[in-house]
Structure 1
Amino acid sequence: MRSFQGAVLFVDMLGFSALTRGRLKLTESEYMPWKIKPGGKFPHQLLAAQILLAFRKALMRTGRRFKAVKLAQLSDCAFLWSEDICAVTDAGRFLMHEAIEAGLLCRGGLAFGDVHEPNKIDHSIGAFIVGDAVTRAATYETMGKGMRIFTDSDTASEILFKRPHESFQALINPLVGETVDEWLWYSPEPILELSQDRLTLRPAIEKLVSCHTMLRYSPRFAWNAASPEGCRQLACSIVAISDAMQKLSQGYGEYEFTVEHLSSAMQTRKDSIRERVHKQFSEELLGLAMYRDRKKTRG
């Protein structure tokens, strides 16, 4: 076995177990975005297979792009790990964006610590790892709602030492008083702090807005919205991302939402609406971000 200090990201698909067990009442509106015929045999299992395939493709794209990061898929979840914590954060951010664009609702846990892996791996049956960081990453994934990545203060400090512009926030569970840190993987602040170039800002802002509009309007997430728990997971995701949009607007925008409002009034899911809102919000936020940078320069 090879032992080292490294970073581990655990990512899990939300709502997948309820889908495969047939606990969701789905109609044509939920199946058709994934090109599944609702009248066929076992349509919910075919939908699950399509989702797993999309997840696998997102992981493969991540692996090809970040060579320093190792990956292992275990059905509807996956581990990413490396001795290079910056490589894991970059890969994690990339994977989460890829997942949203594919219509995949997932959540993650991130930890830095002891990792142990075999010296030789039989790749025909997949890689595996054990260690304190592995256990903690899997535990942190369960400590919140929505398409977010949860971690601890020690891991956050390790990342901030090398990436001072990364964004974290502490969250307190009011029921038990436990504190967990959220890594704001969707926040464009690292790029905004390093660049005042409109050509650089636009793609970063469009990625943030795309997270919002995909989760809120894309038909691909309709099956997630078919249950109260799925609606809540989507709502928590949208609220977190919308808070980042509101922060970016310096309070001038109107992007704040509540989980209660979104859970009880989920939007009509149409790509035409998503594209229109995406264009509107992107232009608004780009203008506000450029205005913020001009104020900084003058100050």
Structure 2
Amino acid sequence: MGNHEALGLIFNDEKGKQQAFIDAFPYETQSAEALFAEEFINPENGPDSEDNNKYDPDPKNIDFPSYKENAFYYTYGNVAMIVLNSNYWYAPSIANQTASSGGLHGYLMDNQLQWLRETISKLEKDKNIDHIFLTQHTPAFPNGGHSKDVMWYGGNNEKRPYIGGKPVDKGIIERRDEYLDILINESKKVVGMLTGDEHNYNWLKLTADMPIYPGNYPHKNLTYRVQFIKSIMVQQELLIMAKKYCHGVSIPSPLAWKMHCACFMWKEKNNNESIQSGHFKSNR
């Protein structure tokens, strides 16, 4: 699920100005997640919800929507695809108005991240699976109009979900790194990441010397413990780009283009073995 699947309640002040936009409730029947599960038929092998996480204000009751059919995985031959919900419990106003609580655009919350770690560990041990792909709506490295949010927020790690009116421990960039750490350092089978949101296409090869932090970033940097270079390819939506998506400053990277291009993915190893698929591109 992404921000285009949002279904929420909007609260205005006496002047009609929007003060909060939160996921619709009761969550079991009215949330975006509930409607998504009702309208689509997907595997039911994902996490349960964010209930009973360390921030849950009332562990005896349901305080969060379900992940049923909006976070899951499936296999096809020797390939596994893991589908994540990067707009869970989505509250569009939370980035600027924290009093209402809610999920942040692009943030993978604790229980989903733990499920991802356990799922990848299981697939790593599965002799029938050779390659793992992941997909979520929001890119790990935005290159256009969404460089102001998703997993970067202009380099502002203070952005994060709020639960019960209190911020969670990890900011958006810290959580992005925890996510990437699972893909890069806890898996030998992860090949690539497919995302959307930016309405354009870009790819990057993530290596240890690529700058992925704002200046004077105070937190621990991501380290690369594996003995091969992991190339994470980001396929973004192949749509006609609105003007707002055609311009913007992102994290510094020489490997970002504004173009239309088909999906192209590979993983390089030290012995120069590679997995590849064909591609085409057309500059615009």
Q: Same fold (TM over 0.5)?
A: no
Compute the TM-score of the two structures, normalised by the length of structure 2. Answer: 0.32
TM-score, normalization: structure 1? 0.31
Q: Which has the higher contact order (CA 8 A, sep 6+)?
A: 1
